[in-house]
Structure 1
Amino acid sequence: MTEEPSHEAESRTGKARDVGVCPSVLVGLVGTGIQASRTPRLHEQEGAEQGLRYVYKLIDLEMFGLDASALLDILKAARYFGFAGLNITHPCKQAIIPLLDDLSPDAAALGAVNTVVLKNGRSIGHNTDWWGFAESFRRELSDVRRSRVVQFGAGGAGAAVAHALLTLGTGEVIVVDQDDGRAQRLVATLRERFGQSRAATGIPVADAMATADGMVNATPLGMAKYPGMAVPADLLRSDLWVADIVYFPLETELLAQARAHGCRTMSGGGMAVFQAVGAFRLFTGREPDATRMLQHFSAM
């Protein structure tokens, strides 16, 4: 399936192209409450810079009155219409796995998929979230202490973030989730990969926060559709660093409260860009310009 690139995309790059000779790429994002996502523009702008007819569609389950049970039909439709792949977000990163033909080593280890490549009649699940968070952290918080980090959220994004934190040398990740079973499963997986002392759950939130160097929100709380905070504001303190993976809005209530308490903060923008860098590479087989994509994101 091919579509004409929008005049808006052309004007953003200042390079109207001869659509008759440009390679065509059609991809999409599947999730709930994603209308504010910046990912489509981020991909389309980088595609235009590289001379591609790059079209990125939002497939918002909420808008169609659907839930994760529609994923199989969405995958079939994407194949029929010639999609090169799909990005996958909340609440589908784990539900998509049984429907795929294969998984990359990262996706298999994490038990979560945020990128599906459709090629030669097969669907292959990948995870670029963990690298996206890790790269953002390296650039923004590389010098912070991380003997103990409290992570809120044990879903698909949480699995990726915890993997990134431990890969980056965090001593221990304390996982907090409303679903105790899900938190326990993630911790068991992390212990298997990184060692028994590197992950824990079941610790009261106040106790965990009191001895933590930093905290990460890896839940949907803070999104426009899911307002609020995963942690009580009175548990924040000035010597704590706070990271959020939510990026629409970029300024979440958590980050605003953290800065008001004197905390050093990291928004979800960097993770959003770097996971997109990885996804663009998988969809197109081309190397994206990460610096340019960061500039595009900032300009939005």
Structure 2
Amino acid sequence: MKRFLLLFLAIGVLAACKTKKKAGEGSGEQMTIADFQALFTPGTLPYKLTADTLQLKLPDSLRLDTAAMRFLTDTLSKGDFGRNENVKYFPLQRITGNAVNYIVVKAVGRTGAVGYLCFMNKKGKYLSRLRAATTEGDDSAVTSLLLDAKNVIKISNEKKLPGNRTALKEDFYGVNADGSVNLIMTNSNGPTNVGQIFNPIDTLPRKNKFSGDYTSGDMSIVSIRDGEDAKTFQFFITFSKDNGNCKGELSGKGHFIAGNKGEYKDKETSCGISFQFSAGRVNIREIGGCGAYRGIKCFFEGGFVKKAKKKV
């Protein structure tokens, strides 16, 4: 009887050990979305992510493996690390939001660490992400994130300048149910020439023939990046007119309605933008009231010339 009891206990211990093995890590079990979400620490709003948090070293045992990364995207850290750099990904937080849910992922490479705020739909499918926080890079700049209780995203970029001065730029975003974001407003005490514009979609793919950066003068840019399919595109527009007295910024997801024509309609306001693409140029005009995103005496309109892509 005692021998039978010991055998029974041994079998129970072995079974318990097997259940502790994570799905997808040689366990023979396919990882589910519930398994993936369980890797992240549950969090609540407001949530803050800073450079100091990114600098905290995490054990490799917490690293997201290939099975887990399947629930995100292969291009999560594209443009932020060297081509042959070995990048490790770590789960930080998962937070339930209004329009979307949030997953916070830390990427670590030889050159530093980057935090990404990923947008997931209510079923757990990855939609898109924002580059939300960084450690100090070669440009002496750091980026931090604040996601407040109303689901407003604030991304702050602080750069050290000569003479113990700093330039601070704060961008405020709202997020839609499809994962697209709208730039609500920008606060800045730093220079605003186009070479120093913070482009929130800069690292997204640009394989479409119309994707690229289009400029008009030194302080206005229309940035176009690939969408989730051939019928959509991501855009970011910022302009400054009348010696900086009239400014506007807007970002979102547009749709191609013809071969070289695109259109954007804001879900929160009556704002709409028409895009007319031609060889090396894009013309934009408002097709709805976009006063929430610009000054009252200027409009989203005009022609912009495509910049040549820098050779890497």
Q: TM-score, normalised by structure 1?
A: 0.29
More helix by share: 1
Of structures 1 and 2, the one scoring higher in RCO (CA 8 A, sep 6+) is: 1
Larger radius of gyration: 2
